[in-house]
A and B are shown apart, each in its own frame.
Chain A
Amino acid sequence: MTTAPDRASLTAFVTASLADFGAEEDLITPDATFEDLEIDSLDLVELGQAVKRRFGIQVRPKDMDGVKTVGEALDAIFRTAGI
């Protein structure tokens, strides 16, 4: 079951997913780097898969190439979703 995506719900979902992956919740801000959050490239692929499952947005591993911060990841997802 997928839900029509908007920026707020995608941001909330990404934040919850990163916390579920083990990132410290208080540290998850748009400026936070994945290095500081101890989120690696494997986690980012899983994040893309989770977004696909939940929202039907086809985020591929290459869409996350060069992504360093939470904000950049959100931008990549928004871009793919066309919002």
Chain B
Amino acid sequence: MLTVTPLHFLILAFVLFGIGFLGLLIRRNILLMLMSLELMLNGINVALVTFSRVGNNLDGGIFVFFIMTVAASEVAVGLALLVALYKKRKSVFTDDMALLKN
């Protein structure tokens, strides 16, 4: 019978990253794009923890810790920017943000 190997965890990490990338490309709502970015970071975290567990080395776990810190501050700044943008443009969609296009 099939048992779970580290490869399963790595494939899951890649799938999570791919789903986040897909969401980043096909959604137009900036809130959902930020959430897809979080999903991509989660895929990276799964891969790092797997490597840390398999390689018997704590450095990967520590890096997950720092990635969580950076992700939290990124979300805080991104959402503040989004609220500021919403007050100016009254929209959260990327179609309405084409200020520099023409």
| B is a partner of A | no
**Which A positions have Cβ atoms within 8 angstroms of B?**
none
Interface of B toward A, CB cutoff 8 Å: none
